[in-house]
Chain A
């Protein structure tokens, strides 16, 4: 009797998981499907066509926006990941007077309404006479990405054994070498998920980007936002489909790193 009960729970669990994933992916199937739709309006599926993909590549402003987004997303992700990771290590290891303040400040970007953070940053940039452009965009994106990197890396640092660092120093590695040879590799999964989160946030932001960008540096989300405002037409769907495929490949590449290490472990155990 106990066996079947466990089986039921297991299948229920599987079924539930599949339903949730379906729920998550339903609209994405629709978006991808309508990217091949013939009619201009995303209402009814009339015919199959690749027209929108072609049309999309001609749209130079779209490509330029995509270029800007890639630069901003990558630079802001790298900067916020670097500052966030070493910051998390610092916050994990050391106590200092203003620690309470920094910890509370860490939550502000998560909660502050985007429109007001955007305006406040714009006021600061103009007060500092900084010309609005890719640089100010990157600075703004780093500002709201850092907390997420710090949270994920700190979560990873939770189970970190400090004597491993001491062992490395004991064996002749200076502090910097220890960081790169020992600390960083161990907390890498935390750093990667922090970076992925920062990348996601940067590629989805519209309101803060609107206020902190200059005339020549519109980003893709802003472009999509304006296209959507005039009624979603299939070329937006086509664009989103391409981005989706792009991000899936990046995710598989980075995460597969973990999968292969797992495989090595399994192989390793067999060898013994």
Chain B
């Protein structure tokens, strides 16, 4: 019996090492690789395969689930471990000021012209020397019209007592506090303690209505009918609408907060040229179209926009009305006030 046991254990080991080696074929760190560090579910496989076929560059795709996770890894890891990553606007600002980003060689990325001028030369990176916009997502409301026939059109509507225990919210300090700030007409980066106190009180009054917080996939609660109102990313709403037609996106009249995700190249990236080649590849209209097909975020690529099907264009979730975008606010770094927001969030969650 013991002998049989050893044989099967050793077989297992051989099998393991085989699949392992076959898995990481190009273990040598040669020219032909691109280490891409991206959000989960934010880049279709088909695009990566197309890029590999066309350029012969193997893409090593690793994922993270929040800007800060990516920052932690890059900040404390060895320099140049990743060649390309995607950071939201405020994070580009943080990384640029902390010297964690490479300057882009604009000449290598002519397609940057395709990007809608609304999203270039933003506060966090004048002249786009460090970043190229990839996708824009905004946090919007939505509701299930079969459960709430009267519908919702403003943020203050969801504070109504009758919606007790029926809202799914993003588990994201800046977005949720931003929502409350906008409902009071404040800036999403409010630092005046008195106003922040008001935001806190408003949020605490909303707590009974909130059934759960979920940043992973809030759409599941809307589709399964667990909740009748949702505050989530526009793409999540778009995907939920495909599964449950009763779901209606809402651009609250008080305004929304916006987040622009951008390609950036970490400092001392080993394959900077490959990264730039990838950005250029992604900016092509037909490729950008492939991305929007699978991830219906707002696409800043004007050229790609024309190619998109009508279902994308008239779906308000992925193609927000111009009026909503003008009033959209960008979340910025809070610097020393971060602790203030963190205390508010802890108290809100604890209430």
Contact = CB atoms under 8 A, between A and B. Distances in A.
Query: Do A and B come together as binding partners?
Result: yes
Interface of A: 40-41, 43, 61, 63-68, 70-71, 73-74, 119, 122-123, 125-126, 129-132, 134, 210-211, 213-218, 222, 225-231, 250, 253-254, 256-257, 260-261
Nearest to B18: A67
Interface string B213-226: 00011011001100
Interface stretch (B61-69, B104-112, B148-156, B296-304): B61-69
B73 A122 contact: yes
Contacts of A231: 216-217, 219-220
Contacts of B63: 218, 222, 226
Which of B9, B24, B45 has the most chain A CB atoms inside 10 A of its CB? B24
B216 A216 contact: no
Contacts of A227: 40
Given A43-B220, A215-B60, A216-B27, 10 more contacts: A67-B16, A68-B20, A74-B13, A132-B81, A215-B81, A216-B60, A218-B63, A231-B216, A256-B1, A261-B1
A101 B13 CA distance: 35
Given A131-B78, A231-B220, A218 B16 contact: no
B8 A253 contact: yes
Given A67-B19, A67-B22, A129 B78 contact: yes
A107 B231 CA distance: 42
Given A71-B16, A132-B77, A216-B24, A210 B5 contact: no
A256 to B, nearest CB: 8
A250 B11 CA distance: 11
A213 B219 CA distance: 30
A132 B323 CA distance: 47
Nearest to B8: A253
Given A210-B73, A229-B40, A215 B82 contact: yes
B223 to A, nearest CB: 6
Contact of A123 (B17, B62, B76, B81): B76
- Prevailing SS type, chain A contact patch: helix
B257 interface: no
Nearest to B219: A231
B163 to A, nearest CB: 22
Contacts of B293: none
Contacts of B77: 122, 125-126, 132
Contacts of B45: 61
A130 B13 CA distance: 26
Contacts, number: 116
Contact of B5 (A63, A68, A213, A254): A254
27 contacts: A43-B220, A63-B23, A67-B21, A70-B15, A70-B17, A71-B16, A74-B16, A119-B72, A123-B76, A126-B78, A130-B78, A131-B78, A131-B81, A134-B24, A210-B69, A211-B73, A215-B82, A216-B24, A216-B27, A218-B62, A226-B40, A226-B63, A226-B65, A228-B216, A230-B41, A231-B217, A254-B9
B292 interface: no
B23 A230 contact: no
Contacts of B82: 215
Nearest to B36: A215
A130 B19 CA distance: 25
Contacts of A68: 20, 23-24
Best-buried of A65, A130, A257 by chain B (most CB within 10 Å): A257
Q: Interface extent on B, as a size class?
A: 35 or more
A123 B72 CA distance: 10
Nearest to B63: A226
Contacts of B16: 67, 70-71, 73-74
A257 B40 contact: no
Contacts of B69: 210
Contacts of B220: 41, 43, 231
B217 A229 contact: yes
B92 to A, nearest CB: 21
B62 A71 contact: no
B305 interface: no
Contacts of A41: 220, 223-224, 243
Given A41-B223, A226-B41, A257-B1, A71 B243 contact: no
Given A231-B217, A260-B1, A67 B20 contact: yes
Contacts of B219: 231
Give the one of B2, B13, B64, B78 with max A CB within 10 A. B78
B137 interface: no
Interface in B150-175: none
Contacts of A66: 19, 23
Nearest to A41: B223
A230 B217 contact: yes
Contacts of B143: none
Listed from nearest, the 3 A-B pairs whose CB atoms lie closest are A67-B23, A231-B217, A70-B16
Most chain A CB inside 10 Å of its own CB: which residue of B65, B73, B243: B73
Nearest to B22: A67
